[in-house]
Each structure stands twice: as structure tokens, then as C-alpha cells.
Amino acid sequence: MRFKIKAELSPENQLQQLIEQHYPAVKTAGFHLSPVAGLTGESWKITSPAGDMLARHQSGERRNAGVERQREHAILRHIARQTLGPCVRLSSPPWLLVEWIAGTPLSEAAFVSAQGQKPVSQSLAKLHRLACSGYPLDLRRQFARYWQHVDRRRLTPRWLALHQKMIRRKLPVPLKMALLHMDIHAGNLLETEKGMRIIDWEYAADGDIALEFAALFRGNDLDPLQQDAFLREYAEAGGYQDLPLFRQQIKRWLPWVDYLMLLWFEVRWAQTADKKYSEWAQPLRVRLFGRVHD
């Protein structure tokens, strides 16, 4: 049963009302809300003697950045038996409440070490063996959505030409379609008593497994040796076996990942005016446009 939440309330007050309506035992025992650090600032930890949860909010800004809590909810349900991600506790738009996973985030050093790559690769191989979720990643649609929210003052003729090229360009033929996480980095990987767990599934969707690794390699700026180590561990864990072909396919996806990342950074820059997003976008602008200021 869904309860109406007053839209004029602040997100924190909305969440408090939601908990009181759906979890009377938590209300009775008492609970504490604390914002969770991150790039979006739209998640809250619910601490209570009855158990901890993570509340994820669906704002207009998050929707513009490609986040859909309904899709995230469905995907978490889809993987629920695999102990890969958090369990869903409640879906009541605009909120999604999930299990708070107790664990230690993987360090940057561990992420690129042989010891860290093994469980990460095993988790990805396990994920990629699952049936597709029914939520395909439509990159052209995502590009078009992001494009609507880019600061028009930052557009250049070279960028306009590139955008048209990417919209019309033919996508690589997939090697293997599977459910992808699409945001694998050290901060989204937790070492727990039950092994490696993956959090933050808000960008997960169905796509080519090579796209997952293209995003992983670019997003974490891995060098060729680190990339090869990941691919070998992935193959040993039961992932794609033909590594030369896999490397070629990953390379085909890199321009798409570069442009996806650039647009995401630019949308977040337009939303927040936070200089870090512009700084993160600059190397991508150079790679894609070939110039520092264009």
C-alpha cells in the first residue's frame, strides 16, 4: 500500500514521514537520518535498533542524469538471489529503500591489485551470467537526454558536429548481452563477511559485456597491464574466454564511453556549478575534440 507524501516537504522530512508510515516499529524504537557522502548527495542512511537501511531519492536532477529508481528497483529484485547487491526494503516513489550493507569499501590500491581484482572479476562474471533484466541501455537516447541539460554556453561547432556523429553512428554488434552495472569503481565495492558486494545500481542496465569493461577501464583510468590483469581474472572466473576478440570489442566501445562520461560530467556541471565536474570533463574534451579549448 502506498501512502501520499506531501511534495512540499523537504526530502529529509518526506523520508521521515515515509518511515513513520511504513515502519511503525522503527518509529517506536527511534531512528536517525544521516546524509551519505557521494557525488549526488541524495541518499540517506537510516540508523535504527530495528536495522539500518539506505534511502535513495529520485529528484528531477537525478532523472536528468539518467537515474530511474523504478528501473533500479526492478534490477535489484532481478539479482536478489545472487547476493551481489542490496536487498530492496521498500519502493514508494520518489523513494527507494534498500538494505544497508555493512562492509569496508575497497581501497583504490586494492582495486588494481591482484588480490582485489580477483573478487571483482568473479562478481562481474557472476553478474554477466544472469539473464537480461528487460531494461536495455539505449546510449543514443541517453545522449539525447543529457544533451538537453548541457550548458549551452559551453557548446562549440566541433562539439555539435561530434554529437551529431555519435547520434547517427552505428553501435558495435554485441559480443554477449547481459545485465551490466556500469559504475564499477572502488567506492562501489564492499568487502563483507559474505564476500564482495556491489552497491549503487542506479545506472545498471542490459548491454554488451564489453561495454561494462570499457566503462570500468576508462572510469578508473587503468593502464594496459591493469586492464589485461582484469580480463585474465574475468576469464578465469568463467567470463568471456577469447581475450584478443574481447579486447578489440572493448576498444570499439571506448568512444561511446568517453562521450557518455563527458555528457554526464557536463550535466552535473550545469546542475551544480561544481568545478570538479568541468575539470573531470576536460581530458575527455581533449580526447574527443582534439583541442584544449574546443
pLDDT for 99 equals 94
CATH architecture of 11-99: 2-Layer Sandwich (3.30)
DSSP state letters, 31-72: -EEEEPPSSS--EEEEE-TT--EEEEE--HHHHHTT--HHHH
Q: What residues does 47 pair with on adjacent strands?
A: 32
pLDDT band at 293 (very low <50, low <70, confident <90, very high): very low
- Distant-in-sequence contacts of 48-55, Cβ < 8 A, 24+ apart: 50/23, 50/25, 50/26, 51/26, 51/100, 52/100, 52/102, 53/89, 53/97, 53/98, 53/99, 53/100, 54/86, 54/97, 54/98, 54/99, 54/100, 55/15, 55/18, 55/95, 55/96, 55/97
**pLDDT of 294 over the 50 cut:** no
**pLDDT of 39 over the 60 cut:** no
91: enclosing H helix or E strand: strand 88-92
**pLDDT of 40 over the 80 cut:** no
Q: What percent of the chain has pLDDT over 90?
A: 72
Average pLDDT over residues 206-230: 97
**Domain 104-289 CATH class label:** alpha beta
Average pLDDT over residues 117-125: 96
Sequence ranges of the domains in the chain: 11-99, 104-289
**Over the stretch 45-60, which tens digit does the pLDDT of each residue have?**
999 887 899 999 887 7
